[in-house]
Amino acid sequence: MVRVKRGFVARRRRKKLLKRASGFTGSLGKLFRPAKQAVYHALSYASADRRNRRSNFRRLWITRIGAAVRELGISYNKFIAGLKKKKINLNRKVLADLAALDPQAFKKIVDIVKS
């Protein structure tokens, strides 16, 4: 029986996975089996954290808006309620950017909400 040299496909698969694991500590970046497990874990964490990133940013925006609004003498929840009542449709990302980068414009919005 002729010997079959199994190299190319398996080697290519392993190299691809080890390339993804490069930079992992110790054997996780060098040996195939532990690297495979580490890459699978890393991919599952990555997809979960893409979802978490959205809530983290929303949290950050709310914190920034709350801090800026408190300086102008109104609470965050009253500010958001006032925006809805006055039918001002600005999302939290835009409001947080205005509060950080253009305080005068943000102050005008707060004055409109207060009145």
Residues 57-94 pLDDT 10s: 999 999 999 999 999 999 999 999 999 999 999 999 99
Q: State the total domains in the chain.
A: 1
In a domain, 1, yes or no: no
Segments of 1-114 assigned E as strands: none
Q: In this model, does residue 1 exceed pLDDT 80?
A: no
Query: What CATH number should be reported for the domain holding residue 97?
Result: 1.10.1900.20
In a domain, 63, yes or no: yes
The residue segments making up the domain with residue 65 are 8-114
Q: In this model, does residue 3 exceed pLDDT 90?
A: no
- Nearest alpha-carbon partner for 109 in 90, 100, 75: 90
In a domain, 3, yes or no: no
Q: In this model, does residue 5 exceed pLDDT 80?
A: no
Cα separation of 29 and 15, whole Å? 11
In a domain, 2, yes or no: no
